[in-house]
Amino acid sequence: MLLNPRPADSGMAAHDRVYRALRGQIMHGEIAPGVALTLRGIGRQFDVSMTPAREAVRRLVAEGALTLSSSGRVSTPELSSERIEELGALRALLEVELASRALPRAHIALIDRLATINHALAGVIARHDAVGYIRTNLEFHRTLYLRAQAPAMLAMCETVWLQLGPTMRRLYGRLMRTDVPTGHRLILAALRAGDEPGLRLAVRSDVTQGLRLLLA
């Protein structure tokens, strides 16, 4: 019998909650590039002590979602052109392979689900919701890639998304998008046709086209 059970949100649970919430904010572009974060500020935001805030930051720094300067300043990354190009190349390699592996398992229900997400994306664009756009766009891709049944590869892909999140927010503002990405329509058409070369081409184009604008 435990005489002193641990509170439900202490220790590991608290830092994991902060980590997951902060990770989602960064991945979806809720925090702009170069924004400084403090442990005190994170603690206030999530109503936790400094220890779980520090552990969450440590994990996010290890994933490249946050940068830690020699002076101890923690901030979201401001990516160089070389880094953007590298991460874009990684997206192309990983996501093309995930889509290809997902194709044999892309049943009608999955394609319908992707079409529904794409329709929701149109509504987000109409509202000029940058964070909603990034979140819904990543939901479209992740829903497809889950069918690849390649969890290690998907985890690597999500780490790339995480590092690019703040930069993608900046990119959205530059694009001034008014309709859903053409690449999504091509992806859906290739899935319906069972066209693997077409799917690979559509995914590659979709994940790299926008990032090229940041390098122009």
Range 81-215 classified under CATH 1.20.1250.20: no
The CATH number of domain 12-75, selected from 3.40.50.1820, 1.10.10.10, 1.10.3370.10, 3.30.70.20? 1.10.10.10
What is the strand order of the sheet 67-68 is part of?
A: 36-37, 74-75, 67-68
| pLDDT, tens digit, 9 for 90 and up, residues 84-113 | 999 999 999 999 999 999 999 999 999 999
Percent of the chain with pLDDT over 90: 70
pLDDT digits (tens, 9 = 90+) for 122-137: 999 888 888 999 999 9
Question: Is-contact 193 57, C-beta < 8 A?
Answer: no
- Residue 216: the pLDDT is 61
> If we measure between CA atoms, which residue out of 90, 58, 67 comes closest to residue 158?
90
pLDDT at 31: 92
User: What residue ranges do the domains of the chain occupy?
Assistant: 12-75, 81-215
CA distance 37 to 13: 21
Q: By three-state DSSP, how is residue 139 classified?
A: helix
pLDDT tens digits along 135-157: 999 999 999 999 999 999 999 99
Q: What pLDDT is stored for residue 6 in this prediction?
A: 43
- H helices of 127-195, in order, are 130-145, 151-175, 182-193
